[in-house]
Amino acid sequence: MSELPPPSIRLARLADLSQASLRALIENSPAEAAAILRAGAEAGLAEAQAVYGQMLLDGRGVKPDPATALSWFLAAARQDHAMGMNMAGRCLDQGWGAPVDKAAAVAWFQRAAEAGLDWGMYNYASALGLGAGVARDEQAAVAWFEAAARLGHVKSINFLGGFYEEGRLKPRDLELARACYARAADGGDFRGQFNLARLLAEDGHVDDALELIALAREASPPGFRAIMAQYLRASPIPALRQAEIG
């Protein structure tokens, strides 16, 4: 097995890689990509710091190390790298590599949002809506979800659908809710898939709803699968109750 080239060569290799080429390298040769990105991170390149931090967090091409991942996210964040800010916030919000610190997390989310990052907007909006680490402000949360939605952020689009469906902070409009859920579902958001399935089932389009529920079940984490199962068990539609059993 050949040795990896020295850091100076790896750094030159990083400079020659396009974003698409780097993504392909991470997918196909994660250990090589991690070595190249580490060289860039150590050289002070914010993008390399953020991406290498993500590889450390995910354990992709390297041994998982959330604490070191957080240190690289913070290094990128201090250079005003928007995703570095957002991921520093995620680590502090979830307790990855450091104790949970909701106030510090939301401060990074806010900076990422104000830097124009859709994920930062979504996370900041979520914190505002829940009052997690910051005073609860649902009107401000909606405004940030809308800002992220304008950038095509599907999870934010799904949340807007919820506001339209419930008629809370937005005029109740089931057609707009359905359109939001459809956009989120098309973008692969499991919550959007499930929410659209609910409305379709209520309108009698049960087969279409079952297809979306199957997609959502495959993509969602255990906690959300439990929510779906509860809904299906309580459904008045026999085919949906049977889907929960299956």
User: Are the beta carbons of 33 and 25 closer than 8 angstroms?
Assistant: yes
Residues whose CB falls within 8 Å of the CB of residue 63, separated by 6 or more in sequence, listed in order: none
**CA distance from start to end of the chain:** 47
- Split at pLDDT 50, 70, 90, the class of 12 is low
- Split at pLDDT 50, 70, 90, the class of 231 is very high
User: Are the beta carbons of 91 and 97 closer than 8 angstroms?
Assistant: yes
Compute the average pLDDT of residues 38-45.
Answer: 93
Whole-number Å distance between alpha carbons of 143 and 18? 34
Q: Is pLDDT above 80 for 17?
A: no
Query: What number of helices (H) and strands (E) belong to the chain?
Result: 15, 0
Query: What is each CA distance from 103 to 74, 100, 170, in whole angstroms?
Result: 15, 9, 28
User: Are the beta carbons of 201 and 189 closer than 8 angstroms?
Assistant: no
Q: Is pLDDT above 90 for 244?
A: no
Look at residue 14 in the predicted model and tell me its pLDDT. 79
Q: Is pLDDT above 60 for 246?
A: no
Q: Considering the entire predicted model, what is its pTM? A: 0.89
Instruction: Please state the domain extents for the chain.
Output: 1-82, 152-246
Q: Is pLDDT above 70 for 134?
A: yes
- Split at pLDDT 50, 70, 90, the class of 243 is confident
The string of pLDDT tens digits covering residues 144-199 is 999 999 999 999 999 999 999 999 899 999 999 999 999 999 999 999 999 999 99
Whole-number Å distance between alpha carbons of 209 and 172? 22
- Split at pLDDT 50, 70, 90, the class of 22 is confident
pLDDT > 70 in the chain, percent? 93
- CATH number of 152-246, picked from 1.25.40.10, 1.10.15.40, 3.40.50.300, 1.10.10.10: 1.25.40.10
Look at residue 1 in the predicted model and tell me its pLDDT. 41
Lowest-confidence segment of 10-24, 30-44, 63-77, 120-134 by average pLDDT: 10-24
